[in-house]
Structure 1
Amino acid sequence: MSQDWVRRFIAANLPVLPVPGIPDICLHKADPQSGLRHLAEQDSQFGSPYWAHYWGGGLVLARYLLDRPESVAGRRVLDLGAGSGIVGIAAAKAGAAKVYAADVDPYAIAAIELNAALNDVTIDTVLADLTKSEPPEVDVICVGDLFYEAALAESVIAFLDRCLAREIMILIGDPWRTHLPTSRLRLLAEYTVPDFGEITAKTRPAGVFALG
């Protein structure tokens, strides 16, 4: 299935809505009428459409960057496991010199490109699992909600440790999920945000952390 077709489907079926608590950002957001099942019916590789929903870690990290633009202003920023691209969009709006958004899902990449255009920012998308790569040439890596599974959390932490060795700053947004490495984190801020997560949408506290 072509990326052009996917972009047209998202644009036609996922309404544009302001993000809860972050009215400066709008995203294509799934609703009960979006018909995402049609994507699954036409593509056997279609996975969980996490890119079409709000996740607490991404919301809290995006809000933090807009509240404290000095954390990314003038810096090269990577949004790792970017999903909808909300964190990268916030980084761009906060004045980042360059923003990259990486995800393993081509549907997420299509959503990021559409959402970036909606918000009048420039983001370079990367379709790849960067956790298997060497540290990128960036100053800050933002990680929103990548600690919901043990194996994923392990690979993410191993990658982030390699990045820390290159003196790259790591910012993490997460609603205190089970595999969050809390003993290694310094809490920078906490907000109450909507969260899709593992079950149904609800409001819960989420933190922004520095990894050290």
Structure 2
Amino acid sequence: MSLDEAERGPFIQAHTAVATAPLVPEVRLHLATEITPLWQASEDLLRKTGVPPPFWAFAWPGSQALARYVLDHPDTVRGRTVLDFAAGCGVAGLAAARAGAASVTCVDIDPMALEAVTMNAALNGLGGTVATACADLTSDESGGGEGAWGVILAGDVCYEKPMAERVTRFLTRQARADALVLLADPGRAYLTREGMETVARFAVPTTLELEDRTLRETTVLRLLRPSNREQEGA
């Protein structure tokens, strides 16, 4: 159970303000300004309706780094189909749309995140380019979608071991299908860098309300296409 669709937008409006992330001043977002009250309100809803924590209300370091990278290197996404995986507020996908992507799909398992993405796309005049989908692409039932996207952006998705393992398998399959897969990580515990190369590094300002430091060194990595031998063992 979750908030009704008609309730999501008003909840987001009531608990956020229009602002920009430190690394991405080009993109306006509905972001939490008072973190504790929003988290408390979401916990109250979690007890009543099962609404997940409000990860959508923050521009996490990994997503900011991806957004900055594609804005600085628009050829990465220009004219291509882009997936913003575990999109959250959608800042990476919105940056891709602004950089000239042919289309962007922001996918998340939280309907509140997708409502936030829709509202953020409208804020930036990108509603016609950015679509949303509520799905867990790492599940066996999803079918994986290999070959459906030319570019895949995944920011800050390795903070839990089981999730990191599922995500890595999914992203590796996409790289095998010739997608350009970019993963940005701010030093989370469960990232394996095997089969990846570093393409950029950013120092992303953070808050002690969410992180254990005020600056996160965040690395943008490209997944290399698995070799034939690796494919046979996968």
Question: TM-score range with shorter-chain normalisation?
Answer: over 0.9
Q: Unpaired segments of 5 or more residues in structure 2?
A: 225-234
Partner SS for 1:130: coil
- The code of the aligned residue for 2:4 comes to S
Q: Percentage identity across aligned positions?
A: 37
Question: Residue 184 of structure 1 aligns with which residue?
Answer: 195
Question: Residue 28 of structure 2 aligns with which residue?
Answer: 26
Question: Residue 117 of structure 1 aligns with which residue?
Answer: 122
Q: Which of 128-137 and 112-121 deviates more? A: 128-137
Paired with 1:207 and 1:9, the residues of 2 have a C-alpha distance of 33
Relative contact order (alpha carbons < 8 A, sep ≥ 6): 1 or 2 greater? Answer: 1
TM-fit CA distance, 1:198:
6.4
Report if aligned partners of 2:81, 2:149 keep a CA contact under 8 Å in 1.
Answer: yes
TM-fit CA distance, 1:200:
4.4
- The code of the aligned residue for 2:15 comes to N
Larger Rg: 2
Aligned Cα RMSD in Å? 1.8
Which of these residues, 80, 88, 91, is aligned with residue 83 of structure 1? 88
TM-score using structure 2 length: 0.85
Report if aligned partners of 2:43, 2:53 keep a CA contact under 8 Å in 1.
Answer: no
Which of these residues, 202, 217, 220, is aligned with residue 208 of structure 1? 220
Q: Unpaired segments of 5 or more residues in structure 1?
A: none
For residues 71-99 of structure 1, what are the alpha-carbon distances to aligned partners after superposition, in whole Å with 9 as ceiling and x for unaligned? 00000000000000000000000000010
Paired with 2:42 and 2:149, the residues of 1 have a C-alpha distance of 34
Question: Residue 135 of structure 2 aligns with which residue?
Answer: 128
For residues 135-194 of structure 1, what are the alpha-carbon distances to aligned partners after superposition, in whole Å with 9 as ceiling and x for unaligned? 251111110110111100000011112212211110111112111121321110111002
Report if aligned partners of 2:23, 2:65 keep a CA contact under 8 Å in 1.
Answer: no
- The code of the aligned residue for 1:106 comes to P
Aligned residues: 212
Paired with 2:222 and 2:88, the residues of 1 have a C-alpha distance of 21
